Amino acid sequence: MLDEQLQAWFGEATQAHQVPGASLAVLVGSAVYCAVAGVRSVGTLEAVTPETLFQLGSATKPWTAAALMRLVDAEKLDLNAPVAGLLGDPEVASAPALMGVNLRHLLSHTSGLPGDYLLDLGEDDGVLARYASRCGALWPQHAPGETMSYCNTGYILAGRLLEVLTGKVWDEAMRDLLFSPLRLRRTVTSAHDALRLGVARGHTLREVPPSDGPGPERKAAMAWQEVPRWEVPRTLGPAGAICTTATELLAFARLHLEHGVTADGTRLLSKHTIDTLDSAHVAVPEPWSVGSHWGLGMALATWCGRRVLAHPGSGAGQFAFLHIVPDRGLAIALLTNGGHAGLLHREVLRVLLAELADLEVPAPLAPAARSAGDVRGALGEKSWASLVGVYERLGLRLEVEAKDDTEGVLRVITTGPVASLAPQPVHALPLRPVAPRQGVFATQLPHEDGWKAVVFYQLDDGRQYVHTGLRATPRVH
């Protein structure tokens, strides 16, 4: 698919999925193909160009991991050394949640730390140090290495570790260790720099007033509007603050494809280190979300017997997607600012992977229609009664109830300080069997595209957990 063909097809796909603006870049060997569509903002109607920055959100994490691995390469840091004593804070050194936690745990989401300890502690250079100090009061959800649970907290602490070991704030360390040697000119960590360079704004749906027409014509409609605040608090930087272009995201992806060597031939990371980053370190209980395993930064999947590296990200009304197919020298970067981005992402992958890598994207998770008798038989020993209960972690409470023989109810309750900020702190969602003997169910949020996995499982010591949204939540009642 040439640039002209790519542009025409991508423009149609973006419009079909009601995405306000998007940027796509594809790396095939040494060639880069680009396409853009839509607007940076529905308020200004400025067009997206290949130079437009978008938020990476959580797709920042593989960058933070790579920067730390440069220190491992330089023998300034040991992947398996406990991190508590390295964070520069005596209170943190004895924190219960950090006992036995090493860098490998932080980067593979296996530390056991509460994953969404999200604070806004200001915009000065000391925010990560203050954040690390606050983590001294946390308690672990599970022992290090016991299971995978997506952990923003761990990556923020990893960013603080980068500061301590380099003597620079995370933003400067990232520039010195990655952005500058990769010759990136439009990759930044601050909202000020992103605005200066031209950044897309995130969008959410809002209801517009009914038309003035009579009868059935008088009805409300939905429209996209800019989010009121799009910038990421500096405290959360190492977990989600990078803004960049689709083509510069590919420059980072090239590091994984070229075993640590940049486009100009500079070696940034050893081949051994890239292999370590991109090897499976832990299985993911719900492999339908991103991948079946997690490395140090990237998720790993096997599609049609072939290895695929991936990491999505979301910000305030923005969604980013990166996929790498190592054996084809292929990388796909898709950046969007709202709309049905998940559906656009799926179409982009379906078309491009089939054409460029002879790969078929796996079918999305979905519950099958079952009779009451079928469900009872399929559940086996995992009856509804064995699953009903309360599962809780920092900021979230999940209540599982039995509705009838064919369906349960998953009550999702936001807790803690952020509950007052949530537009709807309580959701009652359907819980339907997929492979119930294996503890696999599915749920669906209002206005979301597709079904989401809910997996019930036990750790080796018999403790019960539910895994959904890539997070492990222990049963408390």
Would you say 331 and 322 are in contact if contact means Cβ atoms under 8 Å apart?
yes
Residue 4's pLDDT is what? 82
Mean pLDDT confidence for 232-261: 97
Residue 44's pLDDT is what? 93
Would you say 331 and 257 are in contact if contact means Cβ atoms under 8 Å apart?
yes
As to burial, measured by CB atoms within 10 angstroms (0-12 exposed, 13-18 middle, 19+ buried), residue 74 is: exposed
Q: Which tokens is 246 given?
A: 């689709």
- pLDDT tens digits, one per residue of 218-232: 445 568 888 888 889
- pLDDT tens digits, one per residue of 25-68: 999 999 999 999 999 999 999 999 999 999 999 999 999 999 99
- 117-131, 156-170, 198-212, 353-367: range with lowest mean pLDDT: 198-212
Of residues 371 and 64, more confidence is placed in: 64
Cβ-Cβ contacts under 8 Å for 362 (sequence gap 6 or more): 288, 303
Q: How many whole angstroms separate alpha carbon 380 and alpha carbon 45?
A: 56
Of residues 92 and 252, more confidence is placed in: 252
**Collapsing DSSP states into helix, strand and coil, what is residue 309?**
strand
Residue 373's pLDDT is what? 59
DSSP class of 91: H
Residue 216 clears pLDDT 70, i.e. is over it: no
Which H/E stretch holds residue 409?
strand 408-414
- pLDDT tens digits, one per residue of 131-168: 999 999 999 999 999 999 999 999 999 999 999 999 99
Confidence of residue 88 (pLDDT cuts 50, 70, 90): confident
Confidence of residue 247 (pLDDT cuts 50, 70, 90): very high
- 182-191, 444-453, 455-464, 467-476: range with lowest mean pLDDT: 444-453
Q: How many whole angstroms separate alpha carbon 391 and alpha carbon 384?
A: 15
> Domains in the chain, ordered, with CATH?
1-363 (3.40.710.10), 372-474 (2.40.128)
CA nearest neighbour of 322 among 363, 272, 278, 283? 278
Q: How many whole angstroms separate alpha carbon 477 and alpha carbon 473?
A: 12
Q: What is the mean pLDDT of the chain?
A: 92
Residue 356's pLDDT is what? 95
Geometric angle at alpha carbon 41, from 36 and 47, rounded to 5°: 35
CA nearest neighbour of 128 among 36, 235, 52? 235
Q: How many whole angstroms separate alpha carbon 390 and alpha carbon 381?
A: 19
Question: Catalytic positions, please?
Answer: 58
Which H/E stretch holds residue 385?
helix 384-387
Residue 377's pLDDT is what? 56
Of residues 341 and 447, more confidence is placed in: 341
Confidence of residue 370 (pLDDT cuts 50, 70, 90): low
Q: How many whole angstroms separate alpha carbon 381 and alpha carbon 214?
A: 57
Mean pLDDT confidence for 202-215: 66
Contacts by 92-98 with C-beta closer than 8 Å and gap 24+? 92/132, 92/133, 92/135, 92/136, 94/136, 95/135, 95/136, 95/137, 95/138, 96/138, 96/139, 96/140, 97/135, 97/138, 97/139, 97/140, 98/135
Give φ, ψ of 251 to 5 degrees. Answer: -65, -35
Residue 234's pLDDT is what? 96
Confidence of residue 383 (pLDDT cuts 50, 70, 90): confident
Of residues 96 and 217, more confidence is placed in: 96
Q: How many whole angstroms separate alpha carbon 477 and alpha carbon 467?
A: 16
Helices (H), 17-151: 61-73, 90-93, 103-107, 127-134
Would you say 32 and 250 are in contact if contact means Cβ atoms under 8 Å apart?
yes
Confidence of residue 211 (pLDDT cuts 50, 70, 90): low
Residue 207 clears pLDDT 70, i.e. is over it: no
DSSP class of 194: H
Residue 277 clears pLDDT 90, i.e. is over it: yes
Report the 10 Å Cβ neighbour count for 176.
14
Mean pLDDT confidence for 255-261: 97
Residue 382 clears pLDDT 80, i.e. is over it: no
- pLDDT tens digits, one per residue of 418-442: 666 666 788 999 999 998 889 999 9
Residue 215 clears pLDDT 80, i.e. is over it: no
Radius of gyration (Cα) for the chain, nearest Å? 22
Share of the chain above pLDDT 90, in %: 80
Residue 416's pLDDT is what? 83
Residue 380's pLDDT is what? 55
Mean pLDDT confidence for 104-129: 96
CA nearest neighbour of 296 among 463, 46, 17, 66? 66
- pLDDT tens digits, one per residue of 347-363: 999 999 999 999 999 99
Cβ-Cβ contacts under 8 Å for 79 (sequence gap 6 or more): 72, 102, 103, 104, 276, 296
Q: How many whole angstroms separate alpha carbon 421 and alpha carbon 395?
A: 12
Q: How many whole angstroms separate alpha carbon 281 and alpha carbon 279?
A: 6
